[in-house]
Structures are given as structure tokens and as C-alpha cells.
Amino acid sequence: MEDIIQLSHICKTYFPGTEQEVRALDDVTLTIPAGSFCAVQGASGAGKSTLLHIIGLLDTPDQGAYSLLGRQVSSLGDAALSQLRNAYFGFVLQDFALIPGRTVYENVAIPLIFGDARACEIKPRVREVLARVGVPDLEKRYPNELSGGQKQRVAIARALVNRPQAILADEPTGALDSKTGREVMECFRQVNESGITVIIVTHDGMVASYCRRLLRLEDGRLTYDGATPAG
């Protein structure tokens, strides 16, 4: 498989030189081939979200190199990073981040409206991804009319609508009961089986069990990188 993500000796420190200094990532080297299905685990403060934000071009490292699809991105400016982020990544968050007062259709369409999609493409692409995640009948509903599982499926649809090469999810089942969490993970499994890279930050062993690869962080260091342990 083609290497989509390559991190080399990545370091990130917050509040350097102060009493609040935190070494969020410490010399992390990592390669993630296209089509991977990865879980990222670790205690609170281990650096999980920082790693996800750097991979997703939402944050930049202090040291080290980041290559995305063979392109060095560590030194790119904000405009170039934003363009790459919108082209290659979709994001799914624990709190769903749906806009109240906007329909499901409108929420899912937002990345297309603010991207470069032609007007005639928006409706079929929104309907395509809603069907893909199993909620084709919800497009006229509002977020406050949806269950937690439905909200997360809509959030996944929104992440997919720009046809990204990778989905990055931060505790996507954290606000859901276990049954609904498993249903959402089946949705992620189907997304991954279509060829899209999926990287999930999670505390939940059930979520990690769906993934084929486990990355474990401790105090900003990568301490385990291998197959997800059975059971």
C-alpha cells in the first residue's frame, strides 16, 4: 500500500519555557499506509489528540518532518495547509459538531458549499453519503430530532462528502451507549473497507478491537505500534 502519512521525529511542546510546559509529543516516528484502520490509545494527556491534530494539519510540530502523500508539509503556510486539509481529511468528533437550526442535508453539505464543488454536484453527493452511512431518510430532520447514533452517522456523512482519503475521529463513540457505539464502529468498518484510511482516538477497548492496528502513547512517546491485541 502507498504510504499516505509519514511522521519523522515529531515533537510538540505547549507553553515552552513556563511552569505549564507540556511535552505533548516526544520524538514520534510513524508511517501509516493508505487504507489503514488504526486506533490511538493512551491515558489522558498522553498526546493522542495532539497526534491526531498534527496528522490532520490542524496543528504543526515544533520539530520533525511530516510527509503527506510524498509531499513535505511541515513548513507550509496556513493557506496551503488548509487546502490540503480540506482535500485529504474528513473529521469526526465526539460531540458531533452539528449546527443547530440547520437540517441534516444542510449540515452535510457545508464542506461542499465552502469548497470547490459545483452547485449541481451538491445534492447528489449529500444524498450519496447519507445513504452510504444508512440514514437516507433523515435529510430534512434537524439535529435536535436525532438520536446520538443518528447524529454520529450524519457527522460521518459530512466527513465523507468531500471524498477524503482519510477520516480522523476523536472519541467518536464517547457520547454513545455500547450498542450504538458498535453500530457506529460498523459504519467506520464499512468506510475503511471502501479504501479510506481511518484513524480513531479512543479510550474504549471495544472501539480499538474493530481496528487492525493499535498505536499506544505514553507521555508523548509512541510505546506500542502493532496489531490490535485479541480480546
Q: pLDDT tens-digit profile of 28-37?
A: 999 999 999 9
Given a cut of 60, whether residue 100 has pLDDT beyond it is yes
Given a cut of 90, whether residue 157 has pLDDT beyond it is yes
Residues 6+ apart with CB under 8 A from 105: 126, 130, 139, 140
Q: Confidence class of residue 2 from pLDDT cuts 50, 70 and 90?
A: low
Alpha carbon of 186 to those of 134, 166, 222: distances in Å? 11, 17, 27
Average pLDDT over all residues of the chain:
92
* pLDDT of amino acid 126: 96
* pLDDT of amino acid 13: 95
Cell numbers linked to 109: 453539505
Q: Confidence class of residue 150 from pLDDT cuts 50, 70 and 90?
A: very high
Q: 33 vs 116, which has greater pLDDT?
A: 33
* pLDDT of amino acid 210: 95
Q: What is the dihedral of CA 102, 88, 38, 188, to 10 degrees?
A: 40
* pLDDT of amino acid 95: 87
* pLDDT of amino acid 76: 86
The DSSP bridge partners found for residue 22 are: 14
